[in-house]
Amino acid sequence: MQYEENRLQPISLIDPLTTPRPRYASDQPAHDNYGRRIDYLRISLTDRCNLRCVYCMPEHGMQFMPKDELLSNDELIRVIRTTAAVGFRKIRLTGGEPTLRRDLVSLVAQIKAIPGIEHIAMTTNAVKLAPIAADLKAAGLDRVNISIDSLNAERFKNMTRGAKLSDVWAGITAAEAAGLLPIKLNMVVVRGLNDDDVIDVAALTLERAWDIRFIEVMPLTGIADVANDGVVPSSELIARVEAEFGPLADLGMHAADPAHRYQIAHAKGSIGFISSVSEPFCSTCNRMRLTADGRLHLCLLRDDEVDLRAALRAGVDDAELMQIVRHAVAIKPWGHGLSENILPTIRGMSALGG
């Protein structure tokens, strides 16, 4: 069947200046060849991070991109304007760690001013968030997702290779006070490292109106020793939570939200499970990723990319740049190939922002 054949073909890096492509209608929101409306862009502002989480980066040997390979602010804003013009509505700022950008607040304000952008979120480890949370809200940031993989300070330090839980907690409370709501906390669950902490983290929702997300660890470059045996299926976690708190209320899934949401009886918040490995949600995917060096990464768990930086620095005009973005959307793969043992090889999580 053609559908099955197309979705498994690797694309790898596409040079938009030399690759033939059809012309696309310029007055319709961008859809891919499977009919999915793609309107969510996750932007890696940097590949650098102040932590070395075990499920994201190797402890040693990281080589970060030189500055001249990264998009300049002018290039970045031009790309966002172009994606907004073809129908992207939601932006998520990621890294690496986005709070390492000294110009983060002003960058948020510039993005907020772009016509068509309706929502700006950020994923952060929150170590440096507390001092700038209110400024980010004032600049136009709508909400944050914060990584917190254990409530045990020593275990948290071990998993992040050095972070203080107290710094992250200060970032969470500052974000809540600033109105960056709803607060969403991400916990990547790794068997043998922090799966015993799921109950304690889920219990946060009993008294706080927070959304907790439990995420299956994904097999990205540089963490094979963790990912190979570390996946804890969401079904197993749900069973553990129900054994502790009783039957969960099934809140279902919102369109294009990867988390299947539940609620503990009488809890103020909710818990969700992102099951990229055991229960893929590719049919509702609405997202693409922009790497810090200017490539549109078409699927998190594939290597397919379109090189926008090359097009920008070759001097293409806005109309041609829009056509390149529309082509990138059109050729987005159906989904990952984990069940066929097709694994990503060119970028780790820290270069993609999740």
- Could you report the per-residue pLDDT of 20-62, keeping only the tens digit for each? 888 888 878 999 999 999 999 999 999 999 999 988 887 887 7
CATH of domain 2-19+28-336+347-351: 3.20.20.70
pLDDT value, residue 250? 97
Average pLDDT for residues 95-120, to the nearest whole number?
97
d(CA 146, CA 201): 13
Q: What is the enclosing helix (H) or strand (E) of 261?
A: strand 259-263
Least confident span in 180-189, 269-278, 339-348:
339-348
Number of Cβ within 10 Å of residue 76's Cβ equals 20
Predicted pLDDT of residue 173: 98
Give the range among 243-247, 249-253, 302-306 with minimum mean pLDDT: 302-306
Domain ranges of the chain: 2-19+28-336+347-351
Residue 161 has pLDDT above 80, yes or no: yes
The answer to whether residue 254 scores a pLDDT higher than 60 is yes
Would you state the structure tokens that stand for residue 271, as one six-digit string?
A: 């818990």
Give residue 4's pLDDT.
Answer: 34
pLDDT band per the 50, 70, 90 thresholds, residue 342: low
How much is the average pLDDT of 270-294? 88
Give the start-end residues of each E strand in 21-89. Answer: 40-44
Mean pLDDT throughout 110-139? 98
Share of the chain above pLDDT 70, in %: 88
Helix-helix angle 73-85:104-112, to 10 degrees? 30
Q: How far apart are CA 25 and CA 122, in angstroms?
A: 31
pLDDT category of residue 337 using cuts at 50, 70 and 90: low
Q: Which of 292, 347, 351, 342 is nearest to 13 (CA)?
A: 347
When the pLDDT of each residue in the chain is averaged and rounded to a whole number, the result is 89
The pLDDT tens digits of the residues spanning 216-238 come to: 887 655 554 555 678 899 999 99
In terms of Cβ atoms closer than 10 Å to its own Cβ (0-12, 13-18, 19+), residue 62 is middle
Q: Where are the alpha helices (DSSP H) in 9-152?
A: 73-85, 104-112, 133-139
| Residue 293: predicted pLDDT | 94
Name the helix (H) or strand (E) containing 160.
helix 153-160
Which residue would you say has higher pLDDT here, 266 or 336?
266
Q: Does position 344 have pLDDT exceeding 70, yes or no?
A: no
